[in-house]
């Protein structure tokens, strides 16, 4: 009788394991895909993928198919759309081990070649190193210092400038936000027309456009990136080169300026100085210093446009809902009075303002389609097969405009977050849920974006009334809330307004020590 040796037994065991794995994979692939529109031969759903306002389209598509989860495929790229909060949490948080990568975004990652910012990196060790470096500086214990610096920049770069230029509201806010975002690099910022702030504003504005699928067809058909530069339709390559040059300048100049100040002994405490000081004993200091430079640049690049958009939505909401503005101003007067400026310690005592911020983030979600995740493994969810390499979008708009959770979702109603004058804890909170993403890829700047939104909003309403601009005949220009055709960011269409000092408020006296200071 033949004797099975230990080697034979091991071989048979391995064969059995391989067979079981293969059979399990085949069973998975025999499962149905989630509901979705019909996929045509070759092109699949390529021409059914909207280039703008995808959030509204997918919300309506979900209603059509009676499903909160949808599957599409465009030129071989499988896509999963999630219109439900619980489902988004199931996939992107509870199963984050294989739902946390990033897909390649052709124009940004392959042509402009912005691969050094961890927001765009695929999930892995390289991403972990950069994110850990970011989190070490922007931890909870650092927040008080960060907020203190933000308060000073808001007073010098925002409030003082608005007193001088009351019609330039959105532009002044934009430059102030970029100034605050440059501060972690230790760069001394000029109160007006700082060249690096201007360059950052221009560059990241262009980046938010070129990253959208609707601007350049190469984002839909990645193979187009290989066409020669001289061919008609290859103009996107020249745009990419210009953006890359500007990004290199934004990465290098403030970092080198801070390095020089460190050498001179004049550098202020900031992300760059503290990180380099912590790393100086590392054997791979040179490599880590490069990572620090890349991470520092991402701090102001990744979240500046989204923060500006959130504040523009806030101003639009106050302009078109003056009753809500007056209630917030009354609360500010009760808590702060009229003889001092807003401070970060005041924010926890402003529930109505908090309700306004939450409702602003819900009413017009900054990124209505959450930044895409990508699966690194096959999966089965609710009996549906989810392929490896599937691009997963959580539909933030659909989640925050769910009529079952938020009745009358198109209406601006801060009171929906209040009960007996306090913030409700039994309702979805847009400040912490969906707005800034999910799981391991949640926006790294959310921790500093939230207090910044509060500080700017409170500071503005405490000193100023937001009122309509006047036409040639001196009549108020009526503003109806409208938003751009969103590809990535849902930004209000341009609107006119002005800031006027509130009656009975010595705004100039309160800001006396902050007017005309340079650098800020």
Binding-site residue set for heme: 443
Question: Which residues contact residue 6 at a Cβ distance below 8 angstroms, ignoring those fewer than 6 apart?
Answer: none
Question: What are the backbone angles phi and psi of residue 339, rounded to the nearest 5°?
Answer: -110, 10
SS3 state at 266: coil
Instruction: Convert 40-80 into a string of H (helix), E (strand) and C (coil).
Output: ECCCECHHHCCCCCHHHHHHHHHHHHCCCEEEEEECCEEEE
Q: How far apart are CA 176 and CA 191, in angstroms?
A: 9
Length of the chain as a residue count: 520
Q: Which residue has the tokens 């950052």?
A: 200
What residues are designated binding site? 443
Q: Is the dihedral of CA 114, 116, 119, 123 positive or negative?
A: positive
> Do the bridges between strand 77-82 and strand 391-394 make them parallel or antiparallel, or are there none, so unpaired?
parallel
Element (H, E) at 171: helix 169-182
Question: Which residues contact residue 356 at a Cβ distance below 8 angstroms, ignoring those fewer than 6 apart?
Answer: 314, 317, 318, 324, 328, 414, 457
Cα–Cα–Cα angle for 452, 456, 460, rounded to 5 degrees: 170
Contact 182, 303 (CB under 8 A): no
Strand partners, 468: 497
Q: Read off the tokens for 206.
A: 């262009």
Question: What are the backbone angles phi and psi of residue 421, rounded to the nearest 5°?
Answer: 75, 10
Cα–Cα–Cα angle for 80, 81, 84, rounded to 5 degrees: 130
Q: Read off the tokens for 156.
A: 């010098």
Strand partners, 381: 384
SS3 state at 410: coil
CA atoms within 13 A on the CB side of 157: 32
**Cis peptide leading into residue 519 (ω within 30°):** yes
Query: Other CB atoms closer than 10 Å to residue 329's CB: what's the count?
Result: 20
Q: How far apart are CA 356 and CA 283, in angstroms?
A: 49
> Do the bridges between strand 391-394 and strand 373-374 make them parallel or antiparallel, or are there none, so unpaired?
antiparallel
């Amino acid at each position: 009788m033949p004797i099975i040796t230990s080697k034979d037994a091991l071989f048979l065991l391995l064969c059995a394991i391989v067979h079981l794995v293969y059979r399990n994979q085949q069973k998975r692939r025999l499962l149905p895909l989630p509901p979705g529109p019909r996929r045509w031969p070759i092109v699949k759903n390529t021409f059914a993928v909207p280039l703008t306002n995808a959030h509204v389209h997918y919300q309506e598509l979900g209603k059509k198919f009676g499903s909160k989860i949808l599957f599409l495929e465009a030129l071989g790229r499988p896509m999963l759309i999630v219109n439900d909060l619980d489902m988004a949490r199931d996939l992107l948080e509870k199963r984050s081990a294989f739902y946390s990568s990033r897909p390649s975004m052709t124009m940004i990652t392959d042509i402009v070649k912005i691969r050094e910012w961890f927001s765009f990196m695929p999930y892995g060790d390289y991403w972990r190193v950069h994110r850990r470096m970011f989190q070490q500086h922007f931890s909870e214990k650092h927040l008080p210092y960060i907020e203190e610096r933000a308060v000073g920049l808001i007073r010098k770069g925002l409030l003082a400038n608005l007193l001088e230029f009351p019609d330039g509201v959105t532009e002044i806010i934009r430059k102030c936000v970029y100034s605050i975002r440059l501060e972690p690099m230790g760069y001394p910022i000029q109160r007006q027309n700082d060249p690096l702030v201007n360059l950052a504003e221009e560059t990241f504005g262009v980046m938010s456009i070129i990253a959208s699928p609707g601007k350049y067809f190469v984002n839909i058909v990645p193979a187009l990136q290989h066409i020669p530069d001289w061919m008609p339709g290859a103009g996107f390559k020249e745009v990419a080169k210009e953006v890359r040059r500007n990004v290199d300048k934004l990465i290098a100049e403030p970092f080198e300026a801070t390095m020089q100040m460190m050498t001179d002994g004049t550098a202020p405490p900031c992300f760059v100085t503290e990180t380099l000081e912590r790393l100086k004993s590392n054997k791979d200091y040179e490599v880590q210093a490069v990572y620090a430079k890349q991470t520092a640049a991402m701090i102001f690049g990744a979240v500046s446009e989204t923060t500006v958009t959130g504040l523009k939505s806030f101003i639009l909401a106050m302009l078109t809902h003056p009753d809500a503005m007056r209630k917030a101003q009354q609360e500010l007067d009760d808590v702060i009075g009229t003889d001092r400026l807003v401070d970060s310690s005041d924010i926890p005592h402003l529930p109505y303002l908090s309700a306004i911020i939450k409702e602003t983030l819900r009413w017009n979600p900054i990124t209505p389609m959450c930044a895409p995740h990508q699966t690194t493994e096959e999966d089965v969810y609710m009996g549906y097969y989810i392929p490896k390499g599937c691009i997963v979008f959580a539909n933030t708009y659909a989640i925050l405009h769910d009529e079952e959770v938020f009745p009358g979702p198109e209406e601006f109603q801060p009171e929906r977050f209040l009960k007996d004058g306090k913030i409700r804890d039994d309702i979805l909170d847009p400040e912490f849920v969906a707005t800034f993403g999910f799981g391991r890829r949640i926006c790294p700047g959310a921790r500093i974006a939230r207090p910044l939104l509060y500080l700017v909003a409170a500071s503005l309403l405490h000193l100023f009334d937001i009122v309509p601009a006047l036409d040639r005949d001196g009549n108020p220009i009526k503003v109806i809330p409208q938003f751009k055709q969103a590809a990535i960011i849902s930004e209000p269409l341009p609107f006119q307004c002005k800031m006027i000092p509130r009656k009975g408020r010595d705004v100039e006296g309160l800001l006396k020590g902050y007017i005309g200071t340079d650098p800020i």
